[in-house]
Chain A
Amino acid sequence: MDEFITLAHGSGGRKTSELIGSMFKKYFENDYLTADDAAVLPAPTGKIAMSTDGFIVSPYEFPGGNVGKLSICGTVNDLACMGAKPLYLTCAFVIEEGFPVNKLEEIVAAMAKTAREAGICIVAGDTKVAGKGQVDGLFITTTGVGQIVEGVETSGAFARPGDKIIVTGDVGRHGTTILLARDEYGIEANVTSDCAPLWGTVESMIGVTKDLHVIRDATRGGVGTVLYEIAEESRVGIRLERSAIPVQPAVSGVCGMLGLEPLYLACEGRLVIFAPADKADELVSVLRKGKYSADAAVIGEVTEDMPGRVRVRTAIGSETLLPPPGGELLPRIC
């Protein structure tokens, strides 16, 4: 095998077959992955959920994962949020000429491992190689299909006054990890990405109740953005309890140095759940037994008043608004 990816690997010729054989086929192997033009799959019964997402992250590897793991988690979690058990996934790679083959192998291996854990089969794929400088390292797009568990119906529009809001763990870890990995601000902290496949987490909640109103994974814009989305889509108000929001101390420290709000830093393994108040405690106690949700907590509740707004009860008992999501996250220094 070559040391670096070249344009020949994307030409469709011998090098392409070699790459597919030694890499994708080897790691992704399952009954549905064949050399044919399309995967032939048994049709699930009932409703399916389908989602697609593109993954670009710089740097492509970071403490707690790499772009490969991220590309599986992102799509699996999107399906899980709709109450769908992940079934099939396709992936398309755009690789920059000169990309190290051993790094590609690490990424592909992480995808295979994560897919196995999430119980999803990678059934088709595509590889293109772009000239040097045309892409930044490696882009991956994944598309997934899942089967919705009967009786579960979630939507961003289903939050109701009285619902409790649960987050499945501490917030802002992935965003902080990437910020530190880019090493632009000279800050060091022991923070790893929360990147994780969350179907198991959702399944454990469905075990408690199917009456889950909203499940959404907090990705790019963080938990804060999700809360504003839901407040808008469901036309309800949200009241958070500042002291109840789990934040790792090191994440707080980094945010303090740069003047950033942890609620707006990306997560890749956190769900925000809106559920009936009488189920909240049981959900949290089940979540806390889960592998990826040990720090789950009720962080607030849904109100009828102030629709579209997210309020925060502060540590001194006063109330303020969470600043709505802005554009680019810029450190605030002076």
Chain B
Amino acid sequence: MSAEKTAAEIVQAYDGRPIRVMEVCGTHTHAIFEHGIRNMLPDNIQLISGPGCPVCVTETGFIDEAVWLALEKNVTITTFGDLVRIPGTEMSLAGARAKGAKIRIVYSPLDAVNYASEHPETNVVFLSVGFETTVPAACLAVKRAMELGIRNFSLLTANKTMDRAYRVLKGSADAFLYPGHVSAVTGMKIYEELKNEGISGVVCGFTAGEILTALAMIVKKIGSGEPFAENAYTRVVTEEGMPIGRKLIEEIMEPCEAAWRGIGVIEGSGLKLREKYAACDARLVYDMPEIQGRPNPACRCGDVLMGRIKPYECPLFGKVCTTEHPVGACMVSSEGTCSAYYKYNI
């Protein structure tokens, strides 16, 4: 019998107390739907989707800042595709584009540097969102821009790290599916620390077999009542992770407080450019005033992100907030929990 099938059988045979497993990574949310894994689980295993989609936890004010740069300062915004449709207080970047803003979708922050280098007459800002996985690429972009003396490139940062978020989320779930690609950078040490604080989880990959294996591990371990930290994504995630990448982050960025949409401010959970790299900090370069976003007060993205409610329990879900006309970020991002629930009609 295939290992994948064995894993599925272990998960399906689980007859212990009801458990809640939180996948914190948006790509997991996506993969779990795509592989139809939720339908395979017994009733006593509940999968809840946590705040691991960088787009979903990005505050309305960040979009407002980007719109301000694009429309007031006439900069060319370079961004990952998902951010384009996120509603700001007045408009999304797609809305700004319709008003003449220059918005360019890129695959990599390094492409944004190249674009800046090829268009010296254009001021280019990269919208730097993302967790530990994505931060090294953004830092590399800053390093390259500095080395090549490219002066028309800067970052608007909203980067975040996950370790403190787990501590805030403690109690929301019995075990976490830890994000595979974040773990590729961080390594396993942080999960040992979390284990010592009573937080359990398994590092999980993205194929159907990998997700089922991680769930099987949780099912096997949870009975003992002891906290655990396991790696079910060994072909990618090593003990030490990516030391060169972490060193680069350390050199270029420093921790700061960060506002998570719906969750609030988590001390030390954000990353911003160090003073030495002020020339690449869009907020400083363009002398940006403080911009406070005003999200729709009825939007309950925060409760959805914390696993407190299911998307359909939000009063806006499916009525005024749809994938065609999203109100909250969780509906916009294709990784967003609401979007996934809406599209798959669960």
Bitwise interface map of A from 241 to 261 toward B, beta carbon under 8 Å scored 1, else 0: 000000000000000011100
The answer to whether A333 and B107 touch across the interface, beta carbons within 8 angstroms, is: yes
Bound-complex Cα distance A315 to B106 (A): 31
Contacts of B104 in A (CB 8 A): 184
The answer to whether A187 and B107 touch across the interface, beta carbons within 8 angstroms, is: yes
Contacts of A319 in B (CB 8 A): 36, 39
Bound-complex Cα distance A327 to B343 (A): 12
Bound-complex Cα distance A316 to B130 (A): 31
B224 contacts partner chain A, Cβ-Cβ < 8 Å: no
Given the interface contacts A334-B133, A334-B134, does A258 sit within 8 Å of B107 by beta carbon? yes
Interface members, chain A 174-195 (any B CB < 8 Å): 184-187
The answer to whether B81 and A331 touch across the interface, beta carbons within 8 angstroms, is: yes
A309 contacts partner chain B, Cβ-Cβ < 8 Å: yes
B277 contacts partner chain A, Cβ-Cβ < 8 Å: no
For A308, give the chain B residue with the smallest CB separation. B345
Bound-complex Cα distance A187 to B107 (A): 9
Given the interface contacts A257-B107, A316-B4, does A332 sit within 8 Å of B335 by beta carbon? yes
A44 contacts partner chain B, Cβ-Cβ < 8 Å: no
A64 contacts partner chain B, Cβ-Cβ < 8 Å: no
Q: Chain B's nearest CB lies how many Å from the CB of A326?
A: 6
B40 contacts partner chain A, Cβ-Cβ < 8 Å: yes
Interface of A is mostly: loop
B8 contacts partner chain A, Cβ-Cβ < 8 Å: yes
Bound-complex Cα distance A327 to B84 (A): 12
The answer to whether B81 and A332 touch across the interface, beta carbons within 8 angstroms, is: yes
The answer to whether A331 and B208 touch across the interface, beta carbons within 8 angstroms, is: no
The answer to whether A321 and B107 touch across the interface, beta carbons within 8 angstroms, is: no
For B84, give the chain A residue with the smallest CB separation. A330
Bitwise interface map of A from 296 to 334 toward B, beta carbon under 8 Å scored 1, else 0: 000000000000010010111011110110111011111
For B82, give the chain A residue with the smallest CB separation. A332
The answer to whether B111 and A324 touch across the interface, beta carbons within 8 angstroms, is: no
Q: Chain A's nearest CB lies how many Å from the CB of B131?
A: 8
The answer to whether B105 and A184 touch across the interface, beta carbons within 8 angstroms, is: yes
Of the candidates B34, B107, B212, which one forms a contact with A331 in the assembled complex, judged by CB atoms under 8 Å apart? B107
Bound-complex Cα distance A206 to B98 (A): 47
The answer to whether B81 and A330 touch across the interface, beta carbons within 8 angstroms, is: yes
Bound-complex Cα distance A184 to B55 (A): 22
B252 contacts partner chain A, Cβ-Cβ < 8 Å: no
Closest 5 CB pairs of A and B: A318-B36, A330-B81, A320-B36, A323-B343, A331-B81
7 A-B contacts (beta carbon < 8 Å): A186-B107, A320-B34, A330-B82, A330-B105, A331-B105, A332-B80, A332-B335
